[in-house]
Amino acid sequence: MSGGRFGFSVQQRIWQSLKGNSVADPVMGLMIGNEKMAAAETCIDFANRVGWRLQDAWVDYEHLNWNEDAPVGCLPYCGFLEQVWRVKVFGVWEWHSAIATASWWQLCVSLLSRVEVCVTQRRRGAES
């Protein structure tokens, strides 16, 4: 067992804590839309929290921490496969990277939302 450190349920709880963050870059929000920008920023916050990103860059799969002291929620890994999606260049968003990040994150949110439904159904079943 993971001791509550790893798994989709752990990631879902982290995502819940980040949901609803406001857009920090209003100019980019105007360019690509606030919803996409909020998704991109939430994605980055999530990845930073679970250790998929370090120092403003995505961690390559082979450099993930696989030890017991790995960040909570780091596994299962669902990070970017394409190295071009670095998201920020010199601290400034590139609009196409923000769109790619938002699109990828929206897929992750779909998965995490499904985990939320499964957890809720499991709790209801346990209470019956």
Question: Average pLDDT of 105-121?
Answer: 75
Question: Average pLDDT of 89-117?
Answer: 68
Can you say whether the dihedral through the CA atoms of 35, 36, 39, 44 is positive or negative?
negative
Q: What is the pLDDT of residues 24-83, one digit of tens each?
A: 777 777 777 777 778 878 888 888 899 988 887 788 888 888 888 889 988 888 765 444
Please give the C-alpha separations between residue 68 and each of 1, 21, 44, 107, 120, in angstroms, as whole numbers: 12, 30, 23, 28, 28
Question: Average pLDDT of 100-117?
Answer: 75
**Is 61 in contact with 79 (CB distance < 8 Å)?**
yes
Q: What is the pLDDT of residues 82-97, one digit of tens each?
A: 444 444 555 555 555 6
pLDDT (0 to 100) of residue 80:
58
Kindly report the pTM of this predicted structure: 0.69
What are the backbone angles phi and psi of residue 105, rounded to the nearest 5°? Answer: -65, -35
- Pull the structure tokens for residue 89: 């260049």
How far does CA 123 lie from the centroid of its chain? 25
